Homo-oligomer: A and B are copies of this chain.
Amino acid sequence: MNRTEFAILGLLGQGPKSGYDIKRLVEERLSHFWNESVGHIYPILRRLHERGWVEKRVTPSESRPPRHEYALTVAGRRELERWFTEPVAPVPPRNELLLRVFLGAMAPAGAVAAQVAAYRERRLSEMKRLESVAAELERAARADPEFVWWRMTLSAGIHAARSAVAWCDEVLPDLTKKPTENGEVA
């Protein structure tokens, strides 16, 4: 069983949803640590249905396409709880920026520095964005039962972004001073 299936099963655990609901929810709340592509959600929902982990209810509508809503079954919830105790599968890393850094000796002058600087920008703005989301959450959603969990994932994102920026600040001086000393292409 794959990761997408569990992600969707988990989101349905919070209440019945349509494929489109799932897509939006992932974009709005989970985007700093998860993503789902639309073309993947619908086939997975069907598979979950075939296995009896979700049930489907179609609500017709005059003005729009009928709404296909999926809800967890008892078997689905059991499966979901099992997943929580299953060890997280390690993801083999693939970091394109670090690949460029590692191979930096053969890069055109300044290219790696520019990449790291751009990366720093991205991570810094990500950090600020997450901090403002967290502040807003703290203000508006303390009573929400999801609150504590959501805050933890935001904090994870902030920690990661902050440490990425710190690394950039550490290496950027070495990358910008006298590039040829590092053996780069002149």
A-side interface residues toward B, CB under 8 Å? 3, 6-7, 10-11, 13-14, 29-35, 77, 80-81, 84-85, 87-108, 111-112, 114-115, 118-119, 122, 145-146, 148-150, 152-153, 155-156, 159-160, 162-164, 166-167, 170-171, 174, 182-183, 185
> What distance in Å separates the Cβ of A51 from its nearest Cβ neighbour in chain B?
19
Query: Are the C-beta atoms of A101 and B164 separated by less than 8 Å?
Result: no
Q: How far is it, in angstroms, between the C-alpha of A3 and the C-alpha of B95 when the chains are bound?
A: 10
- The interface centre, meaning the residue of A14, A87, A99, A149 with most chain B CB atoms within 10 A of its CB, is A149
> What distance in Å separates the Cβ of A50 from its nearest Cβ neighbour in chain B?
23
Query: Are the C-beta atoms of B171 and A102 separated by less than 8 Å?
Result: no
> What distance in Å separates the Cβ of A114 from its nearest Cβ neighbour in chain B?
8
Copies in the complex: 2
Q: Is the interface of A mostly helix, strand, loop or mixed?
A: helix
Q: How far is it, in angstroms, between the C-alpha of A115 and the C-alpha of B153 when the chains are bound?
A: 14
Residues of chain B within 8 A (CB-CB) of A115 are 84, 87-88
Query: Are the C-beta atoms of A93 and B34 separated by less than 8 Å?
Result: yes
Query: Are the C-beta atoms of B155 and A167 separated by less than 8 Å?
Result: yes
Q: How far is it, in angstroms, between the C-alpha of A21 and the C-alpha of B110 when the chains are bound?
A: 29
> What distance in Å separates the Cβ of A185 from its nearest Cβ neighbour in chain B?
7
